[in-house]
């Protein structure tokens, strides 16, 4: 098992690459929540969103 500390676009790209050499079942990401905020009653986690969208293939590699 590989455990990573992750935050932002750089970590998302690193995890996408790591996923190419290790099966997802062997990867764990502890993602930064320091930038989380609540806006209009909604909890927003930008780093968590970035990592999840990237690993799901729902990101835009050209714009981040």
Say what the pLDDT of residue 23 is: 95
CA distance 5 to 29: 6
Say what the pLDDT of residue 63 is: 79
Region 5-14: mean pLDDT is: 93
Distances (CA, A) of 24 to 19, 34, 46: 6, 25, 22
Say what the pLDDT of residue 64 is: 64
Say what the pLDDT of residue 60 is: 82
Going from N- to C-terminal start, the domains of the chain cover: 2-56
Tokens of 24: 């997802």
User: Please, which residues have CB within 8 angstroms of residue 63's CB and are 6 or more apart in sequence?
Assistant: none
Which pTM was predicted?
0.83
39 beta partners: 42
Tokens of 10: 């750089």
Say what the pLDDT of residue 61 is: 75
CA distance 14 to 20: 10
pLDDT at 21 over 80: yes
């Amino acid at each position: 098992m590989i455990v990573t500390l992750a935050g932002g676009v750089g970590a998302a790209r690193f995890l996408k690459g790591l996923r190419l050499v290790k099966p997802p079942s062997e990867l764990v990401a502890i993602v930064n929540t320091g930038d989380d905020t609540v806006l209009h009653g909604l909890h927003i986690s930008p780093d968590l969103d970035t990592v999840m969208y990237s690993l799901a293939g729902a990101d835009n590699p050209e714009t981040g």
